[in-house]
Chains A and B, each alone.
Chain A
């Protein structure tokens, strides 16, 4: 039982990070109809910026948080304005290729701006180990699980009750009709990129606090992508839950079936789910009148 609990808690912790990044994928898809293959790299860049801030301000948690959020917003806005907006109206394939190119550029920028060494993000918390009986968990892991849960509630409320959230849903549903109703699609797109960048950035910062920061961190995006497919590409909340499911599945497979199965299990899971529900567990079935 103790073994199972340890696997579940660790799975939830890494799954919460996948979930946050997956939500970032989903926010952009829901608002722009685009899959951003640079999501993992955006996660990594924000974490590196947070690390730079932390080394400058001596690990002050408040300043690091504020600085990282502002940096993530700017990163999202700049990418949307400079890279994505010129692609409006272009074929989806070309736009997706642009995000892949962007991913490579962001990945390479780590060594140009920072270095190839792993680094620890020290903000005075997150590294301590809390023992519940004999089960050990880091405070950063508890924090990221809590953050994901809070984020799920906040995003649900945002899309359900806020005017801008409803506008985003309207643009996602039919951008031309939304435009006719006076909603600015470019503004919505910019907000989506900024929000996605912040959510993914939060995941990156938590990952760096609980684990470490390294140029290999972009691979978190590759792990989060199945989570968003599993939850539903157009389901922001579903993506978050998808992350938790992938994290737990991976850990249980690794713990009970052997370490080699760890990375495979999540992908096996989505293959099975997608064969039954191609639009994901929480995604909306796309019905077209023929």
Chain B
């Protein structure tokens, strides 16, 4: 009886393993490997989603031009979720179940990735997230989900620490958006305020979508803040800086990486000169940034090239890792092998950020941060540390 049960268990396990292996090999034909992605391609967050997808396309084009993954060309399936969580879930299900993607990249914003996590885990599909790194995505670590980037909290802590050390004894001001992004920014800020006992004289928050910051910046001016953490995303930071210019005040200002895109500087004009930003990808003004643009130019259309920003770099790095992992699995890649190979990622150079590593139980690449400063003369961000 015992032997019978053991045999039955082994057969059952074999059947399960077998069906799992078959399912894991979806999205692969003799000539193609399908990689799926769901991004906001419409609405204001498209600035992130479109740019990230361009990064994926660059890495895929690079691989395809070199013969594909062990002879198979990569087919990229991209879905638009419009930054709407329900559509993200729908899109991810579609690329897995209908397009039969072998692996996934990107996955929209932070809230969207969090919401879609049960779907990803249940499917078991190898996934590399690169757009919005938030702790929930890697804490606790999920077997098949890897995250490239740095946490928002760490980013803010790094920036505020830098500005605090550079401006000791100064008065601080902060404004944040009234959502999960704003809370994260505020949490990072408060950590340093507590540790360094910063003197915060202005603390405001604004409703998502606010476009006029006249009264907010007037309050900031009235508070006498010397150092200001502008917790807007993109257009809000521009509006804040132009309002400060109108009020004839210029505090030392720090912004966060979602808004660290070059067109922002053009719109800020002289008001944006000398602003500090924190990021884990190289600025385009650096040698690495220039080299990336050179590499990208022949691989994307003219319009796509214009849409390149820092998110293109994060997308590119994630796609490089995934492609390399699948490649190392040889002629018959499986999900199990791809996940195992992603886990073995150790100090991989992508040229757009510090070397990337994962490991057993480590699903977050924890990228090294750097501070940069704007230069309006060249409309660029330059590293300062």
Contacts and interface: CB of A to CB of B under 8 A. Distances in A.
A10 B215 contact: yes
Contacts of B248: 131, 134, 136
A33 interface: no
Interface stretch (A153-161, A166-174, A214-222, A271-279): A214-222
Interface stretch (B24-32, B133-141, B155-163, B260-268): B260-268
B175 A116 contact: no
Contacts of A220: 211
Max chain A CB contacts within 10 Å: which of B42, B44, B210, B267? B44
Interface in B300-353: 306-307
B215 A259 contact: yes
A211 interface: yes
Nearest to A14: B212
Nearest to A258: B204
Contacts of B212: 10, 14, 211, 250-251
A212 B218 contact: no
Given A129-B246, A136-B248, A215-B44, A259 B204 contact: yes
A6 interface: yes
B246 A137 contact: yes
A148 to B, nearest CB: 15
Interface string B227-248: 0000000110011001001111
B218 A214 contact: no
B376 interface: no
A6 B214 CA distance: 8
B218 A263 contact: no
A3 B307 CA distance: 41
Interface in B251-275: 261, 263-264, 266-267, 269
Interface residues of B, number: 42
Most buried by B among A129, A217, A252, A254: A254
Contacts of B219: 254-255, 258-259
Contacts of B306: 115
B211 A211 contact: yes
Interface string A116-148: 111110000001010100101110000000000
Contacts of A116: 43-47, 50
Contacts of A212: 235, 238-239, 267
B184 interface: no
Interface in B1-53: 41-47, 50
A11 interface: yes
A108 B42 contact: yes
Contact of B238 (A111, A118, A222): A118
B222 interface: yes
Given A117-B263, A212-B267, A259-B204, A251 B43 contact: no
A7 B222 CA distance: 12
A35 to B, nearest CB: 20
Contact of B216 (A134, A138, A262): A262
A118 B43 contact: no
A108 B210 contact: no
A216 B235 contact: yes
A262 B267 contact: no
B210 A136 contact: no
A260 interface: yes
A105 B307 CA distance: 22
Interface string A10-28: 1101100000000000000
Given A134-B248, A254-B216, A262 B42 contact: no
A30 interface: no
Interface string A201-218: 000000100011011110
Contacts of B41: 111
B204 to A, nearest CB: 4
Interface string B67-81: 000000000000000
A189 interface: no
B179 interface: no
A207 B235 CA distance: 13
A216 B215 contact: no
Nearest to A134: B248
Interface string B194-230: 0000000000111101111011101100100000000
Interface of A: 3, 6-7, 10-11, 13-14, 107-108, 111-112, 115-120, 127, 129, 131, 134, 136-138, 207, 211-212, 214-217, 219-220, 222, 250-255, 258-260, 262-263
23 contacts: A7-B218, A107-B42, A108-B82, A111-B43, A116-B43, A117-B47, A127-B269, A211-B211, A211-B212, A216-B44, A216-B209, A216-B211, A216-B235, A250-B212, A251-B214, A253-B215, A259-B175, A259-B204, A259-B205, A260-B207, A262-B206, A262-B207, A262-B216
Query: What 10 pairs across the A-B complex have the smallest Cβ distances?
Result: A254-B215, A10-B214, A259-B204, A116-B46, A116-B47, A263-B207, A255-B215, A136-B246, A14-B212, A214-B235
Given A116-B43, A254-B214, 5 more contacts: A7-B214, A10-B212, A115-B306, A116-B46, A214-B44
